[in-house]
Amino acid sequence: MSNWTDKLFIERSDLFLKLMNQRWLHTDELINGITAVLRRYGISSGILLDLCCGNGRVSIHMAKKGFRAVGLDFSKTFLDDARRRADEHGVSKTVTFLEGDVRKLKEALRSSSESFDVVINAWTSVGFFSVKDDFNVFKQARELSRQGAILIIAETMHTEFLSAKFTPTSYTEINDIMMLKNRKYDPTTSKMNESWIFYEKSGENLKFIDRVEIELHVYSPSELTCLLRNAGWEPLAFYGSFSTLQPMSPLTSLNIVARAR
């Protein structure tokens, strides 16, 4: 059986793209916060690596702030959309989008001789595979970065949030689509299983479109801290949000700033 990520991000990329486009609406505030934090560490330009870049919202917004960006994703649909958007935003000369598996990061970036100043992993783009895979991704990212480079992990789900605010069901509406989520979380394994059920709205009725079964390893802040340290990144700060730079709490998402040792 193929991994659920193939189904959600490749086979049904048409559906996930709708969710991704909603995130674009809040990306200005995210990037203003990230660039303010980077300035604190003496970085206001340079080259950044956007891990699991989706349709490019982080790379494109960072390019508009003067960074050169390389975005990597394994979904052709998202990358095609990202390239079209880079053009539309006038940054296609400073952003490169590459297709590849983040678990084979060095291989995917073999054509680039850059040493990155910034690495970004946004919107819960960890925990899709094994903990060992995540460790290897951050280790490879460290090897591709200069000493003192900054790693940003943004808008990420974590175990404290699930303990404080677990909701077994939720639903989201995006134009003509309704998405129902059923959720289970096992604190003994840190695995969250979700059923995402998509419907098309048709007047008063809902027509079933598809269902995707998701399994995510949800990290605790301390587990991710330990993983990053072992991969060569020293965590420096934790925020609840890059938009507000409020402190992290069980009720916020997880946002980490770490430095390459």
Ligand X SMILES: C[S@@+](CC[C@H](N)C(=O)[O-])C[C@H]1O[C@@H](n2cnc3c(N)ncnc32)[C@H](O)[C@@H]1O
Which range in 59-67, 69-77, 110-118, 197-205 contacts ligand X by CB under 6 A?
69-77
**Whole-angstrom distance, CA of residue 44 vs CA of residue 40:** 9
Work out which of 67, 128, 161, 239 binds ligand X, going by CB under 6 A: 128
Site string for ligand X, 23-42 (x = CB under 6 A): x-------------------
Work out which of 33, 34, 62, 78 binds ligand X, going by CB under 6 A: 78
Which range in 122-130, 165-173, 211-219, 245-253 contacts ligand X by CB under 6 A?
122-130
Which range in 68-76, 87-95, 209-217, 228-236 contacts ligand X by CB under 6 A?
68-76
SS3 content of the chain, % helix, strand, coil (to 5): 35, 35, 30
| CB 260 to ligand X: min, Å | 20
The candidate with the shortest Cα–Cα distance to 117, out of 219, 9, 39, 196, is 39
**Whole-angstrom distance, CA of residue 13 vs CA of residue 20:** 10
**Whole-angstrom distance, CA of residue 27 vs CA of residue 240:** 16
- Closest to ligand X by CB, 188 or 252: 252
Give yes or no for residue 52 binding ligand X (CB under 6 A): yes
Neighbouring CB atoms inside 10 A of 42's CB total 9
- Closest to ligand X by CB, 174 or 206: 174
| CB 77 to ligand X: min, Å | 9
Token pair, residue 223, equals 């587990």
Give yes or no for residue 216 binding ligand X (CB under 6 A): no
Helix ranges (H only) for 56-121 are: 57-64, 76-88, 105-108
Burial category of 188 from C-beta neighbours within 10 Å (exposed 0-12, middle 13-18, buried 19 and up): exposed
| CB 94 to ligand X: min, Å | 18
Scan residues 87-106 and list those touching ligand X (CB under 6 A): 101-103
| CB 82 to ligand X: min, Å | 9
Residue type, 161: F
Give yes or no for residue 181 binding ligand X (CB under 6 A): no
Beta strand extents in the chain (DSSP E only) = 46-51, 67-73, 95-99, 116-122, 145-156, 169-174, 177-186, 191-202, 205-217, 233-239, 254-260
Give yes or no for residue 73 binding ligand X (CB under 6 A): yes
Which range in 31-39, 71-79, 81-89, 212-220 contacts ligand X by CB under 6 A?
71-79
Could you tell me whether strands 46-51 and 116-122 are parallel, antiparallel, or unpaired per DSSP bridges? parallel
Give yes or no for residue 118 binding ligand X (CB under 6 A): no
* 5 to 44, 72, 74, 95, 159: CA distances (angstroms): 34, 15, 10, 25, 21
Q: Point out which residues bind ligand X (CB under 6 A).
A: 5, 9, 20, 23, 52-54, 57-58, 73-75, 78, 101-103, 122-125, 128
